Structure 1
Amino acid sequence: MIATEIANYTKEERKNYILKLINLHTRVSFDALAVQLFVSEDTIRRDINELESDSLVIKVKGGAMTKSYHHSSSSETYANEHKQIIARKTISLVKDGMILLIGGGTTIREFIKMIPDELNLTIFTVNVLSAVELLDKPNIKTIMIGGYISPYSQMTISGDVYAQLAHIKADLLILGTNALDIDGGFSDSDWETVQVKKAMLQASTKSAILTISEKLNTIQKMKIANLSEVDYVVTEVDITHEKLQSYLKAVPSLTFI
């Protein structure tokens, strides 16, 4: 899509584009939207206010969040069928007796739902909603890493979180992402969230990043890690899909599932 086309959007076209970006990336900041749409932040705030009035998004500090990610929402999850495929693929990485470290988000939520009841696992998480979902699994020991809860990411952040993560070495980290790119690695737009995810990588022997293919070739403001620092990327598409070929060539150490 060319810049002049976006710049000439009508108000309704702009709002639809904003809604798509928020659903795709979970959270988007006012300033990032203003840059992408060639309008002022005040215009974006008015659009977000209208989208929130229509119960389509949730305003958070500095931006907006997809409604399906919120704890009180019954909204249909964006690209849910694709996220269920990713969840099923991720289950293949999990073995009985493992220690996992997991984040949060709608794809992680689908993964938790699909964990077989007979698996005995210890799962550490920094996400409150993930911890609640895990309570339905009879043979999982769930350990919540405590700290201040970010209203942006719904993850625990603060010095206590880093201290606890420093004493963990999980077999596998399972983490969602807001954006993923060959050069930009996987990234987010919130400083505190990025720092916690970096610490989670350090606290794990292996790592799997879960993402719908629509997020490929997208970048947010702050890099978490290069793709060479990740072991697996799990998407809904097959490894032969054209979207993955440039990644396979650029990062031969990375395994796509």
Structure 2
Amino acid sequence: MSLSPRQREILDWLRDASELSTDQLASRFQVSTQTIRRDINDLSEQGLVRRQHGGLSLPAGQRNLSFLQRSTAQIERKRRIAQAAIALVPDNATIFLGYGTTVAEFARALPADRPLRVVTNNLEAVHALAEKPAVETWVAGGRLRPGDRDVMGSATLDFIRRFRAHLSICGVGAVDAHGGMYEFQPDEAEFTQVLFANSHVRAVLADSSKFPRDAPCRVATLEQIDHFLTDDDASADAGLALPPICERAGVTLHLC
């Protein structure tokens, strides 16, 4: 998926606004409406926006719930998953924490006396870690996403690349029937890919509401991670045979 810097900014703005007019975009970027229409056409062909008269909007499949809405959904399952993930963390490790509500629950579940270095863009995780004096926390900068309680953007990725982690703990927006993992926005998918690329061990936390589910931006396949943690009702709820899927992919499945 190849996007120009302006197209990435359009998607960032659209995610907050849901709908934008061609005139708004032309004025913001100081280009012609014809140039903006070409951007809209490119984004539409990639399935990232929906063209409409006089502008564009987000496709229904790219609209995720806000952090606040997601934080109360499947909460007990998320807490079980988060607690189980603690066992993957060695003392004195450097770990990446991704965005999302289940990862925030993981940060809350970390013991306060556990000596660790944590690097994250997840502001809810940062809030939880502020109460854990043994954890050295590094916070990425970038563009604030108020509805998602995190930061994103090129500055965020540059900061992450300064570290090499023993373990990355990430969530995903959707998992398909074959174990493919997806996100709702290109910057979310790219962020998780950067965490994976700079980690020795990769773990994904995903409750059963995430699959089977559609989202447009590919993150990774099960073959590209080491641990997949989900709730023990996942196979029944989602109608998936998770154990054989994970066994074929060579990933360790944790049913929590």
1:210 alignment partner AA: L
- With the length of structure 1 as denominator, give the TM-score of the two structures: 0.67
Residue 256 of structure 1: aligned partner: 253
- Aligned-pair identity in percent equals 24
**Counterparts of 1:236 and 1:221 in 2: how far apart (Å)?**
24
Q: Is the 8 A contact 1:103 1:130 kept in 2?
A: no
User: SS state of the match for residue 138, structure 1?
Assistant: coil
Aligned mate of 1:244, from 230, 233, 242: 242
- CA spacing shift, 1:246–1:166, aligned 2, 3 Å: same
Deviation string for 1:22-79 (max 9, x for gaps)? xxxxxxx89xxxxxxxxxx9xxxxxxxxxxxxxxxxxxxx84524xx23xx8x97111
Alignment partner of 1:199 out of 187, 194, 201: 194
Gaps of 5+ in 1: 1-28, 31-40, 42-61
Task: Give how far 1:102 is off.
Answer: 0.2
- Structure 2 partner of 1:59: none
Distance 1:218 1:63 in 2: 13
After TM superposition, the structure 1 = structure 2 runs for residues 51-62 of structure 1, keeping only pairs within 5 Å, are none
Conserved 8 A contact 2:112-2:131:
no
Deviation of the 1:230 alpha carbon? 0.7
Deviation at 1:184, TM superposition (A): 5.9
Which residue in the other structure is 2:152 paired with? 157
- C-alpha distance in structure 2 between counterparts of 1:221 and 1:240, whole Å: 23
Q: How does 1:86-235 map to 2 (within 5 A)?
A: 86-151=81-146, 153-183=148-178, 185-235=180-230
Letter in 1 for 2:101: T
Cα root mean square deviation, aligned: 3.0
- Partner SS, residue 231 of structure 2: coil
Give the 3-state SS of the residue equivalent to 2:214 in structure 1: coil
Q: Is the 1:213–1:243 contact (alpha carbons within 8 Å) kept by the matching residues of 2? A: no
Please, which runs of 5 or more residues in structure 2 have no aligned partner?
1-17, 20-51, 53-61
